[in-house]
Amino acid sequence: MTDPGKRKTRRHQAEAPPVRRRSRAARHPLVLAANLVIFLIVVGLIGGGALVLFGRQAYVAAGPLPEDVGVVIDRGASVETIAAGLEERGVITNRYVFMAAAYTTGATRRMQAGEYMIPARASMEDVLDHLVSGRVVRHAITFAEGLTSAQIVQRLNEADILTGRIDTIPPEGSLLPETYQVTRGMPRQRLIDTMQTAQASALSEIWANRDPSIPLSSPEELVILASIVEKETGQPNERDEVAGVFINRLNTNMRLQSDPTILYGLYGGDAWAQSRTIYRSDMDRENPYNTYQINGLPPGPITNPGRQAMEATANPATTEALYFVADGTGGHAFARTYEEHQRNVARWREIERQRGQSTD
């Protein structure tokens, strides 16, 4: 007789599910390799996303610059060279993030050479925007009225922010002296071209609006007389009256008798490089520019006159004066007659004598 408890145990044992073994297909090397690839892809995506997030945060975060700083991007420089230079200067924190952003956004093809002012705490995004925008730093170069072309060229050749060299002196009177905005690396010849274009434009406008009664037959003659007016007075409010005196002299066939013309005839473009005294022997020397010896205008300008001198010459003051001499205040005393002029000259000589005694 069989024990009921044992029969129950055997029944439970018989009903237990069999242990399932992995199929041979699941253990195939190709399947295992595919699973590994999927795993690595998932890990890579997660890691890449984290890396992109980190890079993005670094790209837009405030930069390390404590104050504004100027940087120069050389023409033809690679993005790798630019990024390395910015990192070395402390402008950006990570060259690789900067390069990745430049390549991703296509900025590598749009970055422009030049000098840029990067503001303090600028992010890498801000820096890249600056280099793409072309908002380069502009420098002002001022040329005073009355400089000769030789003096202007000398100053241009000494300006280290410009490139190239000017070996040929432009014609006297062909450059407009004023303030020009330039960028670092700009060719010097381009600025010369700009000054000549500005002069031609200003002269055309001034000549078109001149007093038709003035005895000047061409814009070139206007520049010649304006250059003399420019060197005769440094007082803006006197230019039209000085021009009026010379116009009166031309109308009455008197010689201009301008001292600056003597100096230019003797020394050319270097005439104003230093203070020079005019002697009687200088006035008597043969000199095509010497208006004590020649009638009418000299053969060319003696300097580059400014716009105000040209405007004063084109529309001179209405005056009966034929003479003027320094009055000791920086201006001039004007006279209608030679006798009155001689009295003014005597006063000026006395002022010179007193000044000479005070410096002894």
Residue at which a domain ends, from 133, 158, 182:
133
Q: Looking at the structure, do residues 270 and 257 belong to the same domain, yes or no?
A: yes
Query: Could you tell me the pTM of the whole model?
Result: 0.78
Q: Looking at the structure, do residues 318 and 244 belong to the same domain, yes or no?
A: yes
Q: Looking at the structure, do residues 276 and 194 belong to the same domain, yes or no?
A: no
| Cα Rg of the chain, angstroms | 41
Domain span at 299: 211-358
Residue at which a domain ends, from 110, 133, 156:
133
Task: Report the C-alpha gap between 189 and 153 in whole angstroms.
Answer: 10
Give me the CATH number covering residue 88: 3.30.1490.480
Quick check: is 337 in a domain?
yes
Task: Report the C-alpha gap between 72 and 85 in whole angstroms.
Answer: 10
Give how many domains the chain has, as a whole number: 3
In angstroms, how far is the first alpha carbon of the chain from the final one? 155
Give residues with Cβ within 8 angstroms of 235, minimum separation 6: 330, 331, 332
Quick check: is 182 in a domain?
yes
Q: Looking at the structure, do residues 342 and 222 belong to the same domain, yes or no?
A: yes
- CA-nearest of 59, 32, 260 to 146 is 260
Q: Looking at the structure, do residues 235 and 340 belong to the same domain, yes or no?
A: yes
Give the position of tokens 């010179």: 352
Task: Report the C-alpha gap between 31 and 43 in whole angstroms.
Answer: 18
Q: Angle at which helices 149-158 and 188-208 pack, to 10 degrees?
A: 150
Q: Angle at which helices 124-133 and 29-60 pack, to 10 degrees?
A: 70
Class of residue 195 by CB neighbours under 10 A (exposed 0-12, middle 13-18, buried 19+) = buried
Beta strands in 149-234 (DSSP E): 179-183
- In order along its 360 residues, the chain shows pLDDT tens digits of 445 554 444 444 545 555 555 555 555 565 555 555 555 554 444 544 545 655 678 788 888 999 999 999 998 899 999 999 999 999 999 999 999 989 989 998 999 999 999 999 999 999 999 999 988 999 999 999 999 999 999 999 999 999 999 989 999 999 999 999 999 999 999 999 999 999 999 999 999 999 999 999 999 999 999 999 999 998 999 999 999 999 999 999 999 999 999 999 999 999 888 778 888 888 888 899 999 999 999 999 999 999 999 999 999 999 999 999 988 888 999 999 999 999 999 998 888 888 776 655
Q: Looking at the structure, do residues 189 and 112 belong to the same domain, yes or no?
A: no
Q: Looking at the structure, do residues 195 and 78 belong to the same domain, yes or no?
A: no
Q: Looking at the structure, do residues 80 and 94 belong to the same domain, yes or no?
A: yes
Task: Report the C-alpha gap between 315 and 353 in whole angstroms.
Answer: 37
Burial pattern 258-293, b for ≥16 Cβ within 10 A else e, equals bbbbbbbbbeebebbeeeeeeeeebeeeebebbbbb
Quick check: is 34 in a domain?
no
Residue at which a domain ends, from 154, 178, 200:
200
Q: Looking at the structure, do residues 226 and 338 belong to the same domain, yes or no?
A: yes
